Amino acid sequence: MWDTLWTDIHVATADPARISTLDGYGCIRDAALGIKNGRISWIGTATDLPDTPQKLAQDVRSGQGFWMTPGLVDAHTHVIYAGDRSSEFAERLNGATYAEIAQRGGGILSTVNATRRATEEELLDVTARRVQRMMSEGTTTIEMKSGYGLTLKDELKQLRVARTIGKTLPVRVHATFLGAHALPPEFRDRQDDYVSHLIAEILPLAAEENLIDSLDGFCETIAFTPNQIERLFRAAADLEIPVRLHSEQLSNSGGTKLAARYGALSTDHLEYVTEDDVMELAHSGTVAMLLPGAFYFIRETHLPPVSLFRKHRVPMGLATDCNPGTSPSVSLTGIMNMACTLFRMTPEEAFAAVTRIGAQALGLQNLTGSLSLGKAADMLLWDIAGPHELSYWIGGRRPVHRIFDGKLSKSPFGNSGISGST
């Protein structure tokens, strides 16, 4: 007997086996879905159920004719930070430059300083509240980066917060070490020495304490060079840690080719990639992670080459890039709308980008990101006309309810109830 059976639903599975040229969502109308031990044990049309619902499951729930989708996967966030930079937004709009704000103690170093000052408990509290907002918007899996500590103590503090979030909240967490995010003041004009410090001191200890699932870096003219990032990638490979990369956001610096050469899970931003870069990604299987929130917030005008990703069949992911400086966003459906409006992605592409491709970018495609037999029952129930509507609302769209690992997940922000019987 199954633990739960959902009936009276339509399902957008995001399952490649069900996606056709006529249906880019893998839809099953008038469907039913069974759950056993947190995994999907049956999925199909309700008329094909092997017995009456009451004989099949202990708990039979009606979805009231709503749509069920996979839980959303946010595969690029900087959500672990302390402090507030909303005032900088107002200052810039009133004429202050980024350099002027930085000289007054603002910019990324203000976030670094605030994160360093916060205790682990304080950092956990503020991060948990942010993550709960993301959960209420439909996120069931989230990547969480370090990178606002930039010391051994504070990078490990951020990574421990990520692990604690994954243990205490109903959300799947992938923790990423981003020590190569910015150059800390202690290493001013000593960039190579800082990379050596990351390799010799922080990365091995983070790996030993099982605090990281992947390694990231910021490869850009204002950050770290391809040679410096490659040193980190080699160290990660020695520890059998997957890699990902921020690349080609502000210029073409060669990071995308490097990421492809090392089989990175994803390479992210990509406004300035060339067709040669895209072809390298196609051969490597690396996900092209697009971040329209940052594109919008910094008023970038150079579009990522979506047509080239399509041409060379490079999988495109989407994520919030939640961070205090360039993408203060917690809503993946809002990001889907931005991607369709700004980048001209289709609603079908946007849906895949925050479900199965997002899961692929975290190496979790065999566990979550689509609804099929044996996958984790990470699901959302939506009162919508169809999955295309998730990309329609500019302000984002909240699910009626959220199911994580087979269990109803109550949101602190409130959701409408679902009828059920036992």
CATH number at residue 289: 3.20.20.140
Two structure tokens written together for 306: 């979506």
Residues 281 and 391 occupy one common structural domain: no
What is residue 92's predicted lDDT score, i.e. its pLDDT? 86
Residues 257 and 283 occupy one common structural domain: yes
Q: What is the pLDDT of residues 48-64, one digit of tens each?
A: 999 999 999 999 999 99
Residues 81 and 12 occupy one common structural domain: no
Is position 392 within any domain? yes
Return phi, psi of residue 83, to 5°: 90, 180
- Look at residues 119, 171, 179 and name the one whose alpha carbon lies nearest to residue 147: 179
Two structure tokens written together for 410: 């109550």
Question: 148: annotated binding-site residue?
Answer: yes
Q: Would you place residue 105 in the very low, low, confident or very high pLDDT band (cuts 50, 70, 90)? A: confident
Is position 421 within any domain? no
Q: Would you place residue 417 in the very low, low, confident or very high pLDDT band (cuts 50, 70, 90)? A: very low
Taking the C-alpha atoms of residue 146 and residue 154, their distance in angstroms, rounded to an integer, is 9
Q: Which residues contact 234 (CB under 8 A, 6 or more apart)?
A: none
Place of tokens 């039979």: 60
Residues 97 and 158 occupy one common structural domain: yes
Q: What is the pLDDT of residues 16-51, one digit of tens each?
A: 999 987 899 999 999 999 999 999 999 999 999 999
Two structure tokens written together for 337: 């709308």
Last residue of a domain, one of 326, 361, 396: 361
Is position 230 within any domain? yes
What is residue 107's predicted lDDT score, i.e. its pLDDT? 82
Contact 377, 6 (CB under 8 A): no
302 pLDDT higher than 90: yes
Last residue of a domain, one of 306, 338, 361: 361
pTM of the model: 0.95
Span 408-413, mean pLDDT? 64
Span 211-231, mean pLDDT? 96
Question: 10: annotated binding-site residue?
Answer: no
What is residue 202's predicted lDDT score, i.e. its pLDDT? 98
Taking the C-alpha atoms of residue 411 and residue 402, their distance in angstroms, rounded to an integer, is 8
| Residue 234 CB neighbours (<10 A) | 12
412 pLDDT higher than 70: no
353 pLDDT higher than 50: yes
Question: Between 410 and 325, whose confidence is greater?
Answer: 325
What is residue 362's predicted lDDT score, i.e. its pLDDT? 98
Residues 148 and 31 occupy one common structural domain: no
Question: 181: annotated binding-site residue?
Answer: yes
Question: 246: annotated binding-site residue?
Answer: yes
Q: Would you place residue 182 in the very low, low, confident or very high pLDDT band (cuts 50, 70, 90)? A: very high
Is position 100 within any domain? yes
Is position 418 within any domain? no
Q: Would you place residue 96 in the very low, low, confident or very high pLDDT band (cuts 50, 70, 90)? A: confident
369 pLDDT higher than 60: yes
Question: 262: annotated binding-site residue?
Answer: no
- Which DSSP letter does residue 172 get? E
Q: Would you place residue 106 in the very low, low, confident or very high pLDDT band (cuts 50, 70, 90)? A: confident
Taking the C-alpha atoms of residue 95 and residue 107, their distance in angstroms, rounded to an integer, is 15
Question: 312: annotated binding-site residue?
Answer: no
In a 13 Å sphere around the CA of 173, the CA atoms on its Cβ side amount to 28
Is position 118 within any domain? yes
What is residue 411's predicted lDDT score, i.e. its pLDDT? 52
421 pLDDT higher than 60: no
Percent of the chain exceeding pLDDT 70 equals 96
Span 248-270, mean pLDDT? 97
Residues 380 and 270 occupy one common structural domain: no
Residues 137 and 225 occupy one common structural domain: yes
Residues 170 and 314 occupy one common structural domain: yes
Question: 4: annotated binding-site residue?
Answer: no
Question: 321: annotated binding-site residue?
Answer: yes
Number of domains making up the chain: 2
Span 87-95, mean pLDDT? 90
Question: 415: annotated binding-site residue?
Answer: no
What is residue 289's predicted lDDT score, i.e. its pLDDT? 98
Residues 302 and 283 occupy one common structural domain: yes
Residues 53 and 153 occupy one common structural domain: no
Is position 62 within any domain? yes
CATH at 392: 2.30.40.10
Domain extent, residue 11, equals 2-70+371-408
Is 194 in a helix, a strand, or coil? helix
Residues 264 and 394 occupy one common structural domain: no
In a 13 Å sphere around the CA of 11, the CA atoms on its Cβ side amount to 28
Is position 419 within any domain? no
381 pLDDT higher than 60: yes
Span 160-178, mean pLDDT? 98
Last residue of a domain, one of 328, 361, 394: 361
Residues 193 and 294 occupy one common structural domain: yes
